[in-house]
């Protein structure tokens, strides 16, 4: 209740601030305001294309980011059936940064319910044994505690075929019924290096909603990743968990030596932009030219988003 009140007051203050700002400054200095790194000055606007937060705990960064985006109610409506799709691919503990941070997943679920979601479903098509992944990632327990339904995705019968008319190599694929049946879905990948696709972020996280991943690998992986993102029901939000990132030997990683405690979070409706931002953030730890992560430019070719961050309204917050 406290949090809800807090958020509501935050939203109100935000609205007031925006109103005030616009009324007083009509000379375009708003752009500078929004680009401001200073967290204190502009609280909530809700008009950003991308929000980046640095330096907090997973749930704290998320709360801040979603407030900057205009609040969860902007994305989730009362009565919505929501799917939250983290990366739960590996039988690894949260410290090893192979899976999305469970605290973040729980916070997203809670906020979906506060925004009026009727139900929230969580799943992933895992790589390791799914029972072990769901348990040892900490996500099943965290999601259930937050009130979500955690459903299996380890059998083909949970998937239904959909066509992807815009796909170049991937014309059709089987997608998990939870996604097919939901009103909204939220994509929460973790930021990792990837041996095949170079990076695994929001777009690569789609490979956890499809059944036949082998087809992707056998038929131009980068193109198939871009193609699957053309599926008509897009995530209402992409939230990149970069609280810990996997800098080397991803996506599985071998030890804690692959992990960097990077304490960041990126959020956008534009999947191309958010992945671009995340790669550039990653590049500070280990050089990763955007051209190498070619599924991102291929998705831009599909008109799924914009790689040119300068053209976007970006909010950067340091906590």
Give the residues lining the site for another protein (CB under 8 A): 52, 54, 91, 127-129, 131-132, 136, 149-152, 154-155, 157-158, 194-198, 213-215, 217-223, 247, 249, 251-252, 254-257, 259-264, 276-277, 280-285, 291-292, 294, 309, 314, 316
In this structure, are residues 301 and 268 in contact, taking their beta carbons and an 8 Å threshold? no
Is the CB of 220 or the CB of 230 nearer to another protein? 220
Q: What is the nearest approach in angstroms of another protein to the Cβ of residue 222?
A: 5
Candidates 54, 84, 53; CA nearest to 68 is: 53
- Kindly tell me which of 18 and 201 has the beta carbon lying closer to another protein: 201
Cα(19)–Cα(14) distance, rounded to whole angstroms? 8
Beta strands 184-188 and 159-163: pairing type? unpaired
**Min. distance of Cβ 24 from another protein in angstroms?**
29
Nearest to 107 by CA among 137, 75, 65: 65
Closest distance of CB 225 from another protein, Å: 9
Between CA 234 and CA 213, with CA 232 as vertex, the angle to 5 degrees is 80
| 7 vs 274, beta carbon nearer another protein | 274
Give the span between the Cα atoms of 302 and 166, in whole angstroms: 8
Residues 6+ apart with CB under 8 A from 254: none
Q: Which is closer to another protein, CB of 8 or CB of 292?
A: 292
Any idea which residue has 């939000």 for tokens? Answer: 237
Closest CB to another protein among residues 7, 124: 124
First to last CA, the chain: 24
User: What's the closest the beta carbon of residue 45 comes to another protein, in angstroms?
Assistant: 18
The least distance separating another protein from the CB of residue 186, rounded to whole angstroms, comes to 20
As measured in angstroms, the least distance from the Cβ of 291 to another protein is 7
Name the nearest CA neighbour of 123 among 93, 164, 155, 97. Answer: 155
Nearer to another protein, 74 or 302 (CB): 302
């Amino acid at each position: 209740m406290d949090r809800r009140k807090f958020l509501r007051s935050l939203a109100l203050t935000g609205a007031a601030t925006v109103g005030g700002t616009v009324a007083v400054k009509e000379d375009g200095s708003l752009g500078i305001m929004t680009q401001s790194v200073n967290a204190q000055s502009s609280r909530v606007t809700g008009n950003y294309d991308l929000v980046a937060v640095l330096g907090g705990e997973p749930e704290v960064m998320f709360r801040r980011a979603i407030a900057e985006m205009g609040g969860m109610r902007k994305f989730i409506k009362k009565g919505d059936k929501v799917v939250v799709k983290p990366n739960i691919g590996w039988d690894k503990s949260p410290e090893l940064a192979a899976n999305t941070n469970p605290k973040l997943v729980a916070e997203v679920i809670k906020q979906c319910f506060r925004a009026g979601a009727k139900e929230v479903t969580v799943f992933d098509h895992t790589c390791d044994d799914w029972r072990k992944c769901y348990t040892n990632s900490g996500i099943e327990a965290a999601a259930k505690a937050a009130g979500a339904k955690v459903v299996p995705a380890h059998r083909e019968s949970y998937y239904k075929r959909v066509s992807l008319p815009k796909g170049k190599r991937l014309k059709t694929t089987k997608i998990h019924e939870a996604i097919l049946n939901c009103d909204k879905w939220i994509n929460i990948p973790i930021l990792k290096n990837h041996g095949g696709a170079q990076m695994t972020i929001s777009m690569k996280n789609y490979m956890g909603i499809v059944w036949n991943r082998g087809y992707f690998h056998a038929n131009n992986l980068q193109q198939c990743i871009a193609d699957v993102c053309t599926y008509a029901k897009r995530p209402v939000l992409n939230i990149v968990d970069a609280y810990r990132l996997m800098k080397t030997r991803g996506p599985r990683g071998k030890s804690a030596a692959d992990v960097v405690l990077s304490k960041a979070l990126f959020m956008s409706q534009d999947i191309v932009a958010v992945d671009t931002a995340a790669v550039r953030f990653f590049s500070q730890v280990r050089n990763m030219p955007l051209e190498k992560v070619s599924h991102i430019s291929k998705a831009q070719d599909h008109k799924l988003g914009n790689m040119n961050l300068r053209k976007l309204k970006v909010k950067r917050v340091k906590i």
